[in-house]
Structure 1
């Protein structure tokens, strides 16, 4: 049964590997289509697909996985048989005649059970390589998504800044007219001009940040640094439907670093069992054939000139028990190290989840605060201050101050949305599932 499971597993792995190779041409053909879409409104799904098909780290991890699959096939095989022939320029005289040449064919066999245990080790190597591929995909997904959310923020901030710049130009005109009518101070005019200059600086800074973020995205997609990326289409902020404890449990099931540690412990156990076979012999079976010539005798024996045929059997003698004991102690130490590494990884993962959970909840609170309270209140206050100013019941400085506050509130809202998206995608990569809906579909599954 175990052999059947192993064969089924690696047949599936082989089919997946073949499908990856056979579909590579189709994948490359789809890249130009995505390339065209990236120059217009850019969606996160297109960026992720492009990165999966072209990111060098992912391509390298795929090939590494394939290498370990081939190593399994190689390691499970018997060693090649040996064929040796000897020719004697001066034949050796025997009772039956001169021995002109001989031929030896031999095959080595490990102790029964040794190949099976080596197969377990190689199977673990394949699984670890697959998990590393999934981890690489998740890391790239996180990097691309985080950069995308940052780009969304920057482009939204540019819109807000440009709208406020236009409004500030109007405020400058209003302040100058009010100053001319002694309804505003020169300080008010200067403050309006200073706010406009600050917004112009913000626009310059945002333009450079947008260029930098697009370069970062292009490098993740293995594109030219100055390749065109259009306007990033923002995504709605979904609510997480899992509790913190549920996310902890999901991470234990899906987090690649923990799964790699589990597989390493399993591999170490198989390695310990394999060391027991180091004290057992391996065998060699052979077939010997010697070509015998005719003897130069007056009365040769009846079987003179008959070729010789023999069967060989050999075995190695594992006498150096101290070396074998050291191999066992090494395997035990590796298992203990892997167990400790797993415990450390579990603790580190839970700490990261806790920090990301706080960032996520805090960003969500800020989004609600700005959307539901601060921005509506700020806009209402601006309208009230403008009315009072026109009626001569309030100063122009109050109007300017409220306008600057509303501008900062708008930027802070977009910043909170971007931070929420970043924290969510990082939390999803640790949990291994989409967190805004109850669907246990592991992320980064390449099959």
Structure 2
């Protein structure tokens, strides 16, 4: 027999499974791999051009009629052009990888948020179940008082009504539990009805470890992706300069000469002619326009980077403010529950002595349950805020 603890699934386990199986994350990684292939394409030379011509009316030459010609040419761009193209593709591939890194971190955050929502729900279900047991105990006290003529029948019916409401609440929570499980399984890309076993939700929620946060994020994937695009833009600027330079062409012509003049020693000798061509970049408007476009794109990227840095810092500050607020709420609920503990003990004793009505005892129990549920939600929100801060302050591991 295996214990339930052997089936308990931790957050790290679920995140690891999500990283392996999530379809959206796989799609982003394939985009990165596709971008990698562009590097080889960008650095590859142009294919040489081979042409063949046949003279319907042969051209007479000194050594015989020329009947056909083969031409092989190869274009050569300015020095460093292919390297610049390769750099552009490489930086764009790195930008796609940073997007993949960010998407993976967002996936971890999403799984964590659903996980802690599920923990809070299951903890609240335990509280509601415990509340049902308390109501059963109160009903026994009221029934005993009724037999001794210290309570009314309506008091028993009131407790029964609360118990029915409690059973309905527990059933609703179980339905919500399955909805959260379905959402987690969808992120992990497995059967939607696969159970998510978690041992002792309260203990996990109570684990509030303080984490050190650097409010100045420098290497977050969201920033690194833009920086890679900036580097790609700089390489594109370099490419625009090189493409404004002359381009070279190397070629070789091979002419087939028919042998008809036997009196000439060179009769019928085929002709070979090496060729060199150079482009003349005299129309510079298109090159100037391209350089200006690249420059404007660079300015746009700078604004994007500055805006993203500001957004990250703002999101971190908001999360820190929320964290402080949640700690304050948690402290308040702890104080209220501590005060209610003694009051509830005295109220149950008073109920047994018939010196307090069941209505007041039920109100106090309902108040205690409300504080405990709010505390459970606050614990879950605190954990989710911590996970948000971990995401916002993560650095790229490229």
Q: TM-score, with normalisation over the residues of structure 2?
A: 0.90
User: What is the RMSD computed on CA atoms of the aligned residues?
Assistant: 2.5
Closer/same/farther in 2, CA of residues 378 and 129 from structure 1, 3 Å limit: same
**Structure 2 stretches lacking a partner, 5+ long:** none
Q: Which one of the candidate residues 24, 33, 39 is aligned to 1:66? A: 33
Q: Is the deviation greater in 48-57 or in 168-177? A: 168-177
Q: Equivalent residue for 2:223?
A: 258
Q: Aligned residue pairs: how many? A: 392
- Retained in 1: the 8 A contact 2:81–2:243? no
Q: Show the 5 A alignment for 1:276-355.
A: 276-295=241-260, 297=261, 300-355=263-318
CA distance in 1, matches of 2:86, 2:5: 46
CA deviations on 1:167-207 (whole Å, 9 max, x unpaired) are 21232333344345453456644543343233223212211
CA distance in 1, matches of 2:197, 2:179: 14
Q: Equivalent residue for 1:213?
A: 180
Q: TM-score, with normalisation over the residues of structure 1?
A: 0.81
CA distance in 2, matches of 1:222, 1:142: 16
Q: Secondary structure at the match of 1:288?
A: strand
- Retained in 1: the 8 A contact 2:79–2:242? no
Q: Equivalent residue for 1:378?
A: 340
Q: Is the deviation greater in 303-312 or in 112-121? A: 112-121
Correspondence 1:270 to 2:270: no
Larger radius of gyration: 2
**Structure 1 stretches lacking a partner, 5+ long:** 1-36, 433-441
Closer/same/farther in 2, CA of residues 304 and 151 from structure 1, 3 Å limit: same
CA deviations on 1:81-136 (whole Å, 9 max, x unpaired) are 22223344554332212223322222211101222222221221021011011011
Correspondence 1:239 to 2:209: yes
Closer/same/farther in 2, CA of residues 166 and 238 from structure 1, 3 Å limit: closer
Give the Å deviation of 1:431: 0.3
Q: Secondary structure at the match of 2:7?
A: coil
Closer/same/farther in 2, CA of residues 162 and 102 from structure 1, 3 Å limit: same
Q: Secondary structure at the match of 1:124?
A: helix
Higher relative contact order structure (alpha carbons within 8 Å, sequence separation ≥ 6)? 2
Q: Equivalent residue for 1:22?
A: none
Q: Secondary structure at the match of 2:218?
A: helix
CA deviations on 1:229-287 (whole Å, 9 max, x unpaired) are 333664353333425xx2x21x232x222222222223222322322223212111112
Q: Equivalent residue for 2:324?
A: 361
Correspondence 1:40 to 2:7: yes
Q: Equivalent residue for 1:110?
A: 77
Closer/same/farther in 2, CA of residues 98 and 241 from structure 1, 3 Å limit: same
CA distance in 1, matches of 2:6, 2:212: 36
Q: Secondary structure at the match of 1:98?
A: strand
Closer/same/farther in 2, CA of residues 205 and 355 from structure 1, 3 Å limit: farther
- Retained in 2: the 8 A contact 1:39–1:230? no
CA distance in 1, matches of 2:88, 2:174: 53
CA distance in 2, matches of 1:333, 1:284: 32
Give the Å deviation of 1:38: 11
Q: Equivalent residue for 1:29?
A: none
CA distance in 2, matches of 1:267, 1:353: 29
